[in-house]
Amino acid sequence: MEITVKWESGESNQGFGAEFCSDENRRNRYIYGIASNGGYIIAHCENRGDYYYDVESQSDYINLGSSDNTLKIISKDNTIMFYVNNKFLKQLTFNGGYGQDFGVFANSGTKVSFSIFKLSGEKE
């Protein structure tokens, strides 16, 4: 999965990015998000409850302010890898998620534009 996103306005510490491997009603899902201040998160949510943060950090690879950023997620075997602007950020063990739905998100009060959404892969 690959998306290109641009922060337009709002609080610079509010996240935006991709939802992935969610069930069809979005009760259970994973997110990979960045903020225009250089922060990023990888988290999951169960039963529409609180998010459990797998990673919460900062990266110099994130373009600050209203510049484009490209987020990429690659899953292979039991591993999932996260990239921003073609730079590797993090690798996690992955059990396959909750489902096959994908999408985008922006936290409340944040205005962003998504210009590219690519989804590819093979189903076994």
Q: What predicted TM-score, i.e. pTM, was given to this entire model?
A: 0.88
Q: Which residue has the tokens 């302010």?
A: 65
Distance CA 20, CA 30 (A): 5
Per-residue pLDDT in tens (0 to 9) along the chain, 124 residues: 999 999 999 999 999 999 988 887 777 888 999 999 999 999 988 887 778 889 999 999 999 999 999 999 998 888 999 999 999 999 999 877 887 888 899 999 899 999 989 988 765 4
Report pLDDT for 24.
Answer: 77
Q: Which residue has the tokens 């069930």?
A: 23
Report pLDDT for 77.
Answer: 86
Is the Cβ–Cβ distance between 9 and 107 less than 8 Å? Answer: no
- The hierarchical CATH code for the domain 2-118 is 2.60.120.200
Going along the chain, which residue ranges are E strands?
Answer: 2-9, 16-22, 29-34, 39-45, 51-58, 68-76, 79-84, 87-93, 101-106, 111-118
Burial classification of residue 122, based on how many CB atoms lie within 10 Å of its CB (0-12 exposed, 13-18 middle, 19 or more buried):
exposed
Beta pairing, strands 79-84 & 111-118: unpaired
Report pLDDT for 41.
Answer: 95
Distance CA 58, CA 91 (A): 15
